[in-house]
Structure 1
Amino acid sequence: MSHLPTDVAGADAVGSAAASPGAQVLRFLDRAVTKVTEAVAAMLVLAEVVVLGSSTAARYLFDSPFTWSDELATLLFIWLAVLGSVVALRRGEHMRLTAFIRDMAPHRRAWLDAVAMMLVAAVLLSLVLPAYEHFETLNEGLSPVLQISEGYRGAAIITGVVLMLITAVQNLARIANWKQMLVALLLVGAATAVLEYFGPTIEDMGNSNLVLFFVVFVVGSMVIGMPIAFAFLLGTVGFVAFATTIPVSIVPGRMDEGMSHLILLAVPLFVLLGALIEMAGLARAMIALLVAMIGHLRGGLQYVLLGAMYLVSGISGAKAADMAAVAPALFPEMLKRGNKEGNLTSLLSASAVMSETIPPSIVLITVGSVTGVSIAALFTGGLFPAVVGMVALCVVVFLQTRGEDVSHAPRYGWAQRFRLLLVALPGLGLPVVIRTAVVEGVATATEVSTIGIVYTVLIGLLFYRQFDWRRVYPILVETASLSGAILLVVGAATAMAWALTQSGFSQDLVQLMAAVPGGRIGFLLVSALAFVILGSVLEGVPAIVLFGPLLFPIAGMMGVNPVHYAMLAVFAMGFGLFTPPFGVGFYLACAIGRVSPDVAIRSVWPHLAALFVALLLITLIPWISTGFL
């Protein structure tokens, strides 16, 4: 994630205007909308926990399931997704590709930021009327169980589009001065006029127009820093509006469909769980136990980091939460032992790749939602590929730390270790509780997150006694923001994938991939390379939503087990996500480790080489992914 930069000239302009009564009123209204939106989004997160948690308890404990719970949860979820997207846009937390503009001179980047935000506003403006038409269509029907108007779902989309449009205009006024805004407006207006004029010609181009809309527009807008979700929407809306006779109202409908899959409700709930385990002390207790057991060995703390990432990943499901929970607890002592900060950050980055397939990975949940592969099978199949990655990294750690001085490392007696084991047991029990609940059928992959949340809150209150109630509301807001950023990408990618399918691109892709030399092995190797590239550019969630429905059927035709293919895809995308210079995950690890990317990039290659070997093993040996199914 990256935040919106603030242009000095734009900030000065806003600051000088702030003295006028009109500006003060606008700022008051802006703060009011922000507070109300964040409050409602936070309450929706809490409401989802209550609805799904009570439904699970009613079904399992009292054998009296709520027939309306899934329908209500889905309705609340679409509102959470769109309002979370609004919050994310206000905070500048939507996913962006910053590799090309990160080192650009501030005054030049300000111009690109203005164009990018103007494009965001233009896309949202073009969706206002289609979103209203989508609302009118839904408003004519009733929900199956609750028998309330389906218009409530459509109202979420139109509300989100309007609020994001207002936010985009406000962000534009904040980051750009009037000259930059005027030039950006003229550029966007001129491009729209050209597309309108040449619309019939573009439509007659056939599938060649895909290059214009889904390569030039999408890739070009991402390169200048436009958030990925809006870049997808730019290409999709442009394609539908200027290259087809299909009404643009189909786009909000496809976004609604993509964002409201009930299985995706696991995303905000596991994001919330990841934040709670850090606050409740579970992660700290597990790390302390690992330090006591092997921290005194050469490379001991590096092994602790790898083990902690494996354990924490199995709980939080979010890479940022994983690294933020582990790094601050270990890095200070590791630096005292003479480890170089660049090497530590590269190991942290590599450990995040290693743990990509550990359940309940958000990417695994997304794979299941868009491809129909069993979530329980994905959760089971993801454990051993991560072990392969961890062993590969352990070899690198062993070779790099043979000369480490551990004479001053604290040593723990068996009595101390036993005490720390007792303290860590509740935290170690959480992955067991989550996995058992899914495997034994107590709860679905979506509902099990509520069990984990209740478990974590109780352990934090009753056992560790460090549950800070003052942090709950900010955590709920942050959960809504991160979830909205992810889910808007899912919705936009769903609409884009539908447009590509309508164009006939999916059939062409099937023929191309089926013709790869080498049969099944050749297909797997090409797929791994493709997912590494996709992961470095799009990140896991948008890449899998966009290409999963296209490539998984081809894998089935080639005789590839879908769980094996899922592990290959997820591990390869993680490899791309944390590989410089384009992988944004690598820069996230640098930010958490507080190390310059220029320093860390010199140390990352041995770890990436080990992970590349692990990826080859996962690709070529299906048993690694399917042996425990």
Structure 2
Amino acid sequence: MAHAEGATAAAGEAGSPRRRSLAASLEAWLGMLVEIPAAILVVAEIVILFAGVVARYGLRSPLIWSDELASILFLWLAMLGAAVAFRRSEHMRMTAVVASTSPATRAWLDVVATCAALAFLLLIAAPSWEYAYEESFITTPALQIANSWRAAALPVGTGLMVLFALLRLARLGDFKTVLSAVLSVGLVIAIFWLATPWLRPLGNINLLIFFVGVAGFCVFAGVPIAFGFGLAIFGYLALTTRTPLMVLVGRMDEGMSHLILLSVPLFVFLGLLIEMTGMARAMVAFLASLLGHVRGGLHYVLVGAMYLVSGISGSKAADMAAVAPVLFPEMKARGARPGDLVALLAATGAQTETIPPSLVLITIGSVTGVSISALFTGGLLPGVVLAITLSALVWWRYRAEDLGHVKRAGAGEIVRAFVIALPALALPFVIRAAVVEGIATATEVSTIGIVYGLVVGLLVYRRFDWRRLVPMLVETACLSGAILLIIGTATGMAWGLTQSGFSRALAAAMTGLPGGSASFIAVSIVAFTVLGSVLEGIPAIVLFGPLLFPIARAVGVHEVHYAMIIILAMGIGLFAPPFGVGYYAACAIGRVDPAEGIKPIWGYMLALLVGLIVVAIFPWISIGFL
């Protein structure tokens, strides 16, 4: 995934050093004030949900308040995490276009991105306070407290992000750059506001103006995706409808508060945990002992290791960060080109998008109502099919590799590596069994994985670094907040599309395609490949999942089969250059110049496309074990 880049140092050279130092000190102090509660909230969610599992399954005495308390704390975790991500400039954004501009233009666009985000936050500040006040009249059923205790997270989180935005602008120091960016954003907003009398009579043409024009312009200009979506839906509702703006905040709350999404931060933390405890390293070492002596062997190990690790963390960034540092040094020593390595790493990121507990699978279950257990079951074989097509290309490319200097592992070494890796290899099966057997929900199972990882890391691998624990918790809150804020604003956009009648028009057009289900699947593959490259998987799913899944059922496509198709299509788009932000994340993790991987990745993308077509043609691959 791509992250927002901080403003360049050059932009701040002309300002007052004292003022910048004061702003930096205030930002650091406020950042610590936000990061510590965010880290505590991650721990609290783990403890509460695991206590619920133990009480219900172990003691046969369910805690009736556990889910409610977890939901209350979750919204606070989402908003504080979003504030941490804002402070660290780690909200997801599409930087391919911005990166191609001159340094001066790029610095100015960075400031514009901050000003655009600030504009959205200021616009929703009053509606969010109003929403929190209205929620005070609702009492929670189990804890019997005012729901405003939960809803207050929205205005508080918004206010913190406003403060971070203002401090960032103050820290830049270049008054002319800041003033130019502020005036540019203010001018655009003023033009739209003055155009209100002309916009309202346009009807659904406004959908193109705001959801394609405004949202698209913001995304390509480098505005973080969550705030670009927010500006588009706010403008649409405020300028073309008479909908109270508090409704938008309510839809954002609904999108971020779905209990299934609670597993997002927990699986993110689990991914960081397996890397820190050495579990990922043990799995990779075992696979390397099996295949390291064959031509292209370590490339097969990379494909297999990503498959195994993806069955634990659910986060592609965490998966790549766990596997690449272990394998890349030896692969380079054997003569592999860095560009080819990062190309295969990106391709395996796309290949493993369907492997449970993928965060995209969890999001689909959240927004469409498809069974999480069915999605977890259906996602295993499609990943195998794509692994086979990738391995076929690896075989072709490395069929003449010289391995004269590589020593084959003996039987004893393989057995020893297997015994060491066994506790780590068991974790994906523990996670899956807990969901399928009904021991825990998809939300709760992540806590079982975390407790298992803690025990194995402390007692078996004995590589638990307590100093890294707090940074890991903060990083978990940060990434989760960035993801959940996108889901919140994308939910608002999806609601606006539905209310406009667009969903009915889309359903009529898609069900009327010549060729029936085959045409529908083909169009969906093309559409979600493009959407994946621009929006990433989660916002695209939140936007279009509620619209397209009912159509899939209407034309006779099984919803789990359809889920696998669009996830793989989005994965190809997400990891394909030049716009696929996942590709740049792989390059950053592998510490390779993106230009080196551009040429070799297209072969891997073609292999993935072949695998996707196979999955689309044969539904049994996705639904055969349901």
TM-score by length of 1: 0.98
Residues 26 and 393 of structure 1: is their aligned pair in 2 closer, same or farther, counting only changes over 3 Å? closer
Superposition pairs of residues 170-185 of structure 1, within 5 angstroms = 170-175=167-172, 177-185=174-182
Superposition pairs of residues 66-215 of structure 1, within 5 angstroms = 66-175=63-172, 177-215=174-212
Counterpart pick for 2:307 among 305, 310, 314: 310
- Say yes or no: does 1:489 pair with 2:486: yes
Aligned-residue offset at 1:3: 3.6
Partner residue, 2:6:
5
2:327 and 2:28 map into 1 onto residues whose CA distance is 39
1:604 match: secondary structure: helix
When structure 1 is superposed on structure 2, of 582-591 and 441-450 the one drifting more is 582-591
Partner residue, 1:513:
510
Residues 114 and 515 of structure 1: is their aligned pair in 2 closer, same or farther, counting only changes over 3 Å? same
Q: Is the 8 A contact 2:346 2:582 kept in 1?
A: yes
1:100 match: secondary structure: helix
Counterpart pick for 2:36 among 28, 39, 51: 39
1:422 and 1:619 map into 2 onto residues whose CA distance is 38
When structure 1 is superposed on structure 2, of 317-326 and 37-46 the one drifting more is 317-326
2:241 and 2:199 map into 1 onto residues whose CA distance is 9
Aligned-residue offset at 1:27: 4.1
Partner residue, 1:623:
620
One-letter identity of the residue aligned with 1:5: G
1:119 and 1:174 map into 2 onto residues whose CA distance is 17
Q: Is the 8 A contact 1:10 1:173 kept in 2?
A: no
2:96 match: secondary structure: coil
Counterpart pick for 2:279 among 282, 289, 297: 282
Q: Is the 8 A contact 2:283 2:421 kept in 1?
A: yes
Partner residue, 2:457:
460
Aligned-residue offset at 1:4: 2.1
1:299 and 1:47 map into 2 onto residues whose CA distance is 45
2:152 match: secondary structure: helix
Q: Is the 8 A contact 2:7 2:111 kept in 1?
A: no
One-letter identity of the residue aligned with 1:116: A
Partner residue, 2:330:
333
Deviation by residue 1:495-525 (Cα, 9 ceiling, x = unmatched): 1111111111111111121122211101011
When structure 1 is superposed on structure 2, of 458-467 and 174-183 the one drifting more is 174-183
Q: Is the 8 A contact 1:5 1:175 kept in 2?
A: no
Partner residue, 2:235:
238
Partner residue, 1:353:
350
Counterpart pick for 1:396 among 380, 393, 396: 393
2:608 match: secondary structure: helix
Q: Is the 8 A contact 1:52 1:450 kept in 2?
A: yes
Q: Is the 8 A contact 2:560 2:622 kept in 1?
A: yes
1:261 and 1:165 map into 2 onto residues whose CA distance is 25
1:188 match: secondary structure: helix
Aligned-residue offset at 1:182: 1.5
One-letter identity of the residue aligned with 1:603: P
Identity among equivalent pairs (%) = 54
Deviation by residue 1:98-133 (Cα, 9 ceiling, x = unmatched): 110112111111222222211111111011110011
2:89 and 2:614 map into 1 onto residues whose CA distance is 39
Partner residue, 1:524:
521
- Say yes or no: does 1:592 pair with 2:593: no
Partner residue, 1:221:
218
Residues 15 and 270 of structure 1: is their aligned pair in 2 closer, same or farther, counting only changes over 3 Å? farther
1:174 and 1:584 map into 2 onto residues whose CA distance is 28
One-letter identity of the residue aligned with 1:4: E
When structure 1 is superposed on structure 2, of 287-296 and 329-338 the one drifting more is 329-338
Q: Is the 8 A contact 2:4 2:224 kept in 1?
A: no
1:13 and 1:591 map into 2 onto residues whose CA distance is 31
- Say yes or no: does 1:548 pair with 2:545: yes
Aligned-residue offset at 1:465: 0.4
Aligned-residue offset at 1:14: 5.0
Counterpart pick for 1:296 among 293, 301, 313: 293
Counterpart pick for 2:361 among 364, 371, 379: 364
Q: Is the 8 A contact 2:587 2:594 kept in 1?
A: yes
Deviation by residue 1:114-164 (Cα, 9 ceiling, x = unmatched): 222111111110111100110111011110111000011221001011111
One-letter identity of the residue aligned with 2:155: I
Partner residue, 1:17:
18
1:175 and 1:257 map into 2 onto residues whose CA distance is 36
1:148 and 1:208 map into 2 onto residues whose CA distance is 44
1:522 and 1:515 map into 2 onto residues whose CA distance is 10
TM-score by length of 2: 0.98
Counterpart pick for 2:48 among 47, 51, 54: 51
Aligned-residue offset at 1:5: 2.9
Deviation by residue 1:263-312 (Cα, 9 ceiling, x = unmatched): 00010000000000011111111111111111111111111111101100
1:61 and 1:8 map into 2 onto residues whose CA distance is 56
Deviation by residue 1:368-393 (Cα, 9 ceiling, x = unmatched): 00000000100000000000000001
Q: Is the 8 A contact 2:15 2:173 kept in 1?
A: no
1:560 and 1:37 map into 2 onto residues whose CA distance is 46
Counterpart pick for 2:564 among 564, 567, 576: 567
Q: Is the 8 A contact 1:285 1:424 kept in 2?
A: yes
Q: Is the 8 A contact 2:298 2:331 kept in 1?
A: yes
- How many aligned residue pairs are there? 625
When structure 1 is superposed on structure 2, of 85-94 and 179-188 the one drifting more is 179-188
Aligned-residue offset at 1:13: 4.3
1:144 match: secondary structure: coil
2:100 match: secondary structure: coil
Q: Is the 8 A contact 1:114 1:176 kept in 2?
A: no
2:432 and 2:10 map into 1 onto residues whose CA distance is 53
- Say yes or no: does 1:261 pair with 2:234: no
How big is the alpha-carbon RMSD for the aligned residues of Structure 1 and Structure 2?
1.2
Aligned-residue offset at 1:15: 5.5
2:583 and 2:27 map into 1 onto residues whose CA distance is 34
2:368 and 2:4 map into 1 onto residues whose CA distance is 32
One-letter identity of the residue aligned with 1:7: T
One-letter identity of the residue aligned with 1:79: W
When structure 1 is superposed on structure 2, of 358-367 and 332-341 the one drifting more is 332-341
2:328 and 2:171 map into 1 onto residues whose CA distance is 37
1:248 and 1:264 map into 2 onto residues whose CA distance is 25
Partner residue, 1:343:
340
Q: Is the 8 A contact 1:531 1:573 kept in 2?
A: yes
Q: Is the 8 A contact 1:273 1:316 kept in 2?
A: yes
